[in-house]
Amino acid sequence: MANSAPKHAPPELIEPTPLLHKKGQLLSSKILSSKHFIVFTGAGISTSAGIPDFRGPEGVWTLRKQGRQHEAKSKSVETMKAMPTKTHMALVELQNQGILKYLVSQNCDGLHRKSGILPEMISELHGNSNREYCRTCSKEYLRDFRAVAPYTKTVKDHRTGRKCTEPNCNGVLLDSIINFGEYLWEDVLESARSHAKKADLCLVLGSSLTVPPANEIPETVGRKKKGDLVICNLQETPIDFLCGEDMRIWGKTDELMEMVMKELGLEIPEFILKRRLVVKVEGDIEKERLSVRIGGVDVDGRTPATFLQSVKLEGNRRPAKVDPFVIGFRMDNLGEEINKLKLELEFMGHFNEPNLVVEHEVDWESEDTLGREVMYFLDYNPLTGEWKTERGQ
């Protein structure tokens, strides 16, 4: 599809603020009256985070066509260090309020999931650069790094070089990216189509709507007799004719969503990086052959999530540097506070997260101490640089 991009991108249009506000008011009223509201997002919602789009004047494919791809890279922000935009966070709040019924995205940057969109609420049609899966058992893994194959031989070779850690599996891990010429994930596409059939309102944010079959999702809603299609994009799209004139919005998605949220009486929440940590003590107390296992999980409590570089147990010299992190210890190494395992966590640090010490309290006389998984909720505010920790039940 890069070859299909024009050398000179179509012009970007921004309508006057009063007109944008008027359309934002109308959109807000449609959202409130809708029964099944869905949103379709493209690369345009991530540009304010420093991630370039594809077909804009400074888009990846536009610059590549002009022989300026290196310049594009120099101006962009590393995807892993990009923070979710106001548009991302507005969608999270609409989800949490029960207003947004489903989200369909063409983006692979992982910002929707990082922002707080639940996995069951989104179809990532073209994959997620932070998600990989096992070819043998289909186990998924979320990573706080780019989990994308090097594609040194062919774009169809999705092997990332890692192996599945499920017991008795050791299968090959593959990235989840859909490259051009490949079929979309059937279940992901079917879920998007199902919600499009139910939808009475679809809002497109930051997409040129030129890539099939993804662009069929908003088109399905736009062609309904009782369906409204709203498109907010700086450039024209092939299905603009399915919008009413008052519902074709020429503007930046952040500005529109700020207006819409204000009309709805909702605040756009600040981005908080949320992590879930599972700690489990195993072994034989009498023989003092003990170990503590530490690992991250996704919001479902099951999908492994790698966001740590190392874990160090106070009283032990060497930190564990391989995920899942397992540290062997003896009780006499714990010092006076024998009922506390002080775990120092070192993060990937994309948002300059400082190390965090989690004090895992244990009751050695309790029967369920060994083998019981305890979850910790770790919230990090990138603006203040502070962690908040809460132990689960």
Active-site residues, by number, are 126
Distance of alpha carbon 107 from alpha carbon 217, whole angstroms: 15
User: Going by DSSP bridges, is the β-strand pair 100-105/37-41 parallel, antiparallel, or unpaired?
Assistant: parallel
Q: Tokens standing for 212?
A: 């099939």
User: Going by DSSP bridges, is the β-strand pair 305-306/140-143 parallel, antiparallel, or unpaired?
Assistant: parallel
In angstroms, what CA-CA distances link 151 with 156, 174, 336? 7, 11, 53
Strands across the sheet containing 100-105: 122-124, 100-105, 37-41, 201-205, 228-232, 248-249
In angstroms, what CA-CA distances link 139 with 134, 168, 178, 384? 5, 13, 18, 35
User: Which amino acid is it at 229?
Assistant: L
Annotated binding-site members for Zn(2+): 134, 137, 164, 169
Contact, 325 vs 295, CB < 8 A? yes
- Number of CB atoms found within 10 A of residue 340's CB: 14
Distance of alpha carbon 284 from alpha carbon 199, whole angstroms: 56
Helix H or strand E segment including 196: helix 186-198
Distance of alpha carbon 154 from alpha carbon 222, whole angstroms: 37
Helix H or strand E segment including 361: strand 356-361
Annotated binding-site members: 134, 137, 164, 169
Q: Which residues sit opposite 304 in a β-bridge?
A: 297
